[in-house]
Amino acid sequence: MQEVYDLILADLDEAIANLPEARVGKYRINKNVAHGILAEVYQELAMADNSLWQKAIDNAQAARDGHALMSNAGYAGGFNNLSNGEWIWGFPVPDDQTLSYYSQFSYMDPSGGYYRNIALNTSFADKFTATDARKAQMVYYGTVPGYPALVYQTNKYRTRVAGAITGDIVVMRAAEMYLIEAEALAQQNKITESIDVLFAIQGLRDPSAVKLPGTTSKDDLINAILLERRKELYGEIGAYYFDLKRYQRALVRDGNHPYPLTIPADDARWLFQLPISEIDANLNIGPADQNP
């Protein structure tokens, strides 16, 4: 595993040294994108080596350089257009090239999607205040007979063209980099600095938000940052899943989820099984090496 991470770091360092800042479009990986990926890698590695948090900060700052946080009006725009200046990386899709049934818009757009079957858990929706601009993107149905999971859906991802399923594929944005920086500062016990970076998002999205006091404990601050990652990045990059893995926390399904459960952090269900074809083809592993 160490050899794999060493290769990842070497590749990204080489990319940053040789990639340009300018590019013809956001589908091209430039220095900003490489810095963003490297910030994510150090966010993982720093869980075992506290000295690496500063590298997470440095790369997160470099990644978001030139990409200001989107306004609340931009947040309400449907997450379908790379012209929004916050997006660091993504893939443009012309309006005449529908994404059809397999896109995020198909699953999440409650009115224009094909499947439109992704709902929000009530326990998650309740974490937003009424004045939070992100709460305004939630569609409330109340109780729908026969559909216990369908209390909230979200307008976060919406098709760009009515009657078709289309929109740019958006991948990386500045808000994630702010939150990586806030977490890294908190892990370094730089509490006040971390709170300031965190509030750049909290205060923007919710005009009623109150900045955490400087006396906030490190653990409470990290919990607040992880919650803000859930709230700001839901539906985007699997932030909640990776945060549970990084901090070795249980997955809890509650609220109106039709299948409530708790999966402890050490449960074997967190592990994917190896493909049988890989076991058959790889001379270094056999059936006894299969994950449980």
Torsion of CA 59, 85, 230, 63, to 10 degrees: 0
CA–CA distances in Å: residue 185 to residues 53, 113, 181, 215: 8, 39, 6, 15
Give the orientation angle of helix 191-205 with respect to helix 174-187, to 10 degrees.
Answer: 150
Burial class of residue 46, CB neighbours in 10 A (0-12, 13-18, 19+): buried
Identify the three-state secondary structure at position 120: strand
Residue tagged 């109150």 (tokens): 210
Identify the three-state secondary structure at position 5: helix
pTM, full prediction: 0.95
Which H/E stretch holds residue 9?
Answer: helix 2-18
The per-residue pLDDT for range 19-39, each reduced to its tens digit, is: 999 999 999 999 999 999 999
Q: pLDDT band for position 225 (50/70/90)?
A: very high
Give the percent of the chain with pLDDT over 90: 95
What is the model's pLDDT at position 8? 98
The per-residue pLDDT for range 203-213, each reduced to its tens digit, is: 999 999 999 99
Write down the mean pLDDT value for the chain. Answer: 96
Identify the three-state secondary structure at position 144: coil
CA angle 15, 17, 20 (to 5 degrees): 80
Q: Higher model confidence: residue 292 or residue 54?
A: 54
